[in-house]
Structure 1
Amino acid sequence: MPGWRAATAVPTPGKRARSRRRRKRLLVSVSRRSAAGFAFGPHYLSIARDADLVVIQITANATRTIDQKRALYAAIARNLADNPGVKPGNVFVNLVEVSPENWSFGDGLMQDGPPM
């Protein structure tokens, strides 16, 4: 199921693999917060959470369907439950969708925007 490239290696069903150049664009930032610096709603939307909460934010081009997004969220929760054993209620995913011209991967250039 190629398509998404995430730290959890969860692709979206039905999405074709991108070129090798695009797959190398994955950037991952991992940080750990102390209990004092990590505030969350332990029962927000009636979902039980605890101090093992994992927050995942994905910024990607706005190209996926609602069904692909649902499959992504479910696969991330399932994979994290399988390994390393995170409870599904402790998996919080935020997908931030942007258009291609909102990216600069370096050199002050807009690599994927419309031609100049």
Structure 2
Amino acid sequence: SLTYGTEAVIPAEIGMPTYRTAAIDVVNNDDELRLNLDLLEERRELAAVSEAKSKSKMMKYYNARVRGVAFKPGDFVYRINDASHAVAEALGNGAYKLRSTEGTALPKTWNVTNLKRCYL
């Protein structure tokens, strides 16, 4: 089946007439192709609705199993590929200011995705 549901005709059928190629009514075939093109927009809308429903179902499944991570000031955390640090301040939306274990404040703000809890 080709684009818009049309059937392919192989070269052997072109040279030697078969029932499928001989029984085609060209005028009726053109009308049917136009009708298929008119219905194409409806099929696209149905596909978009189906896609939105599928995405919603996947999002619901993911959100039911995801665990939120929140740190409080004073908690020890690991930065990715670095030593442990303490949380100095929770800024909200997963953003944290850190300080080293010696007490010096780190200049950048860190997101929760770059931090792991350190159990000391």
- TM-score of the superposed pair, with normalisation by structure 1: 0.23
Bigger relative contact order, structure 1 or 2 (CA pairs below 8 A, ≥6 apart) = 1
Structure with the higher fraction of residues in helix conformation: 2
Structure with the higher fraction of residues in strand conformation: 2
- TM-score of the superposed pair, with normalisation by structure 2: 0.22
